Amino acid sequence: MPSGEWNIVYYESLSGDIPVYDFIENLSPTAKSKVSNTFDLLAEHGIKLGLPHVKKVTGTKLWELRILGGDSIRVFYVATSGRTFLMLHGFIKKSQKAPKKEIKIAIARLKEYKSRES
């Protein structure tokens, strides 16, 4: 886990899968390093980290963590209680706008996570 004022946690499904972790593990070593460095920035700067690293997903509670470089790696996340970021869904962005399919996956995971928290 990156050091800093904010914690970064991964969404875990009911079956025990950790999709963002699995997504990162399947990246190249160079891409993994870029993701790790960007997670460190997010943990250090928290909600003050802005463009080009983070961007609000319009019409949702999601934020898009933008890993800079030619790979267009993105991770959707939300801020939760206790100065924690919950990483919901990682993907390779192939178009200008975040695909609705990817947003739906992140929103479904957030709903499922919240249902367990209440």
pLDDT tens, position by position, 64-94: 999 988 889 999 999 998 899 999 999 999 8
> Which CATH number characterizes residue 110's domain?
3.30.2310.20
Where in the sequence is the domain holding 40, given as residue range(s)? 7-117
Q: Number of folded domains in the chain?
A: 1
Within a domain: residue 1?
no
Percent of the chain with pLDDT over 90: 83
Within a domain: residue 89?
yes
Within a domain: residue 64?
yes
Structure-model confidence comparison of residues 25 and 81, the more confident one: 25
Return mean pLDDT, the chain.
93
Task: Give this prediction's pTM.
Answer: 0.92
Within a domain: residue 74?
yes
Structure-model confidence comparison of residues 16 and 3, the more confident one: 16
Alpha-carbon dihedral of residues 52, 34, 14, 86, nearest 10 degrees? -40
Within a domain: residue 94?
yes
> Which residue, among 70, 69, 68, 59, has the nearest Cα to 98 in the 3D structure?
59
Q: How many CB atoms lie within 10 A of CB 112?
A: 13
> Which pLDDT score, from 0 to 100, does residue 61 have?
95
